[in-house]
Amino acid sequence: MTVIKRLGSGWMVIAALFFAIMGALVKIGAPYFSAMEMVFYRTILSVVVLGGVAVVTGKSLATPYIKAHLGRGVAGTMGIMLFFYALIHLPLATAVTLNYTSPIFLAILSFVILKERINRATAAVLLLGFMGVIILLRPSIGGEQFVAGLVGLSAGAFAGWAYLQVRELALLGEPEWRVVFYFSAVSAFIAGILAFVDGWHMPQNGQQVLILLGIGVTALIAQLSMTRAYKVGRKFVVASFSYLTVVFSTVLGVLWFAEVLHWQELVGIAIIIISGILGSVLPKKK
């Protein structure tokens, strides 16, 4: 228990590692299952576990903000579906980095939707982030991967939209576990329907079962660790540590998939990480 309390922002290191492993498992499962199926298995375990814990501990699943949860759930579901598609068709580090453009889109959406004023420093960081995107995509996205690259960038945009709604739910006083539960429930429902229309692929052996189980378990551990990190850790340190997912994904891409990143791609990844960290600590208003 003492070790758990001392981890603090270190919970984000755990979250980053398990998010990276989840991404790698999605690539491994791609030959056997569709993106929709893997999204379903990624979220259904969270529904079962969080719902079960709520029932056992006497916590209520009822909420007066069901429309807000549905909106967050749809945006988050779109983000994760597009992210899984990018994971299947792009190098692991590239897909993960594109998904981590979400802070850039969060700042833009805050300006457009919430009418928050952005100062010059933040505007410069946003431009820096998009420069990183251009540098990352230009050498790594060939003709057949161009669509996947746009899909990966769109995943970051939808993730930013989802985070904006999470922030609004937090201001309304909704607990983190309930936000995760309803997101997972909406996502599992939508992905389940789409997978049914496309056609289910049942696991053929123990290895495929472990892949699906691994996607769900790693996602749940990562989600809970991230929530814990933001609750007990320092915001700047937590935001910085979150980008370790890119680092871990780069290592896994090399070790598991023999992926090779050129220096231009590494520069683009570094710029996006720096812009994301700066964007999380710079004030958005004048």
Q: Measured between alpha carbons, how far is 247 from 133 in angstroms, rounded to an integer? A: 16
Q: Is residue 263 part of a domain?
A: yes
Q: Is residue 23 part of a domain?
A: no
Q: Is 60 helix (H, G, I), strand (E, B) or coil?
A: coil
Q: Is residue 242 part of a domain?
A: no
Q: What is the pTM of this model?
A: 0.85
Q: Is residue 3 part of a domain?
A: no
Tens of pLDDT, residues 146-198: 788 889 989 988 988 887 887 788 778 888 888 889 999 999 999 999 999 88
Please tell me the least confidently modeled range out of 18-32, 98-112, 202-216, 251-265: 98-112
Tens of pLDDT, residues 191-234: 999 999 888 899 999 999 999 999 999 998 988 888 777 767 66
pLDDT of residue 223: 83
From residue 74, alpha-carbon distances to 159, 188, 194, 223, 241 in Å are 11, 11, 13, 18, 27
Pick from 28-37, 226-235, 236-245, 272-281 the range whose average pLDDT is largest.
28-37
pLDDT of residue 286: 45
Q: Is residue 250 part of a domain?
A: no
Q: Is residue 99 part of a domain?
A: yes
Q: Is residue 194 part of a domain?
A: yes
User: Which residue range forms the structural domain that includes residue 86?
Assistant: 33-221+259-281
Q: Is residue 16 part of a domain?
A: no
Based on the structure, what is the number of domains in the chain? 1
Q: Measured between alpha carbons, how far is 189 from 181 in angstroms, rounded to an integer? A: 12
Report percent pLDDT > 70 for the chain. Answer: 88
Q: Are 145 and 85 in contact (CB under 8 A)?
A: no
pLDDT of residue 30: 94
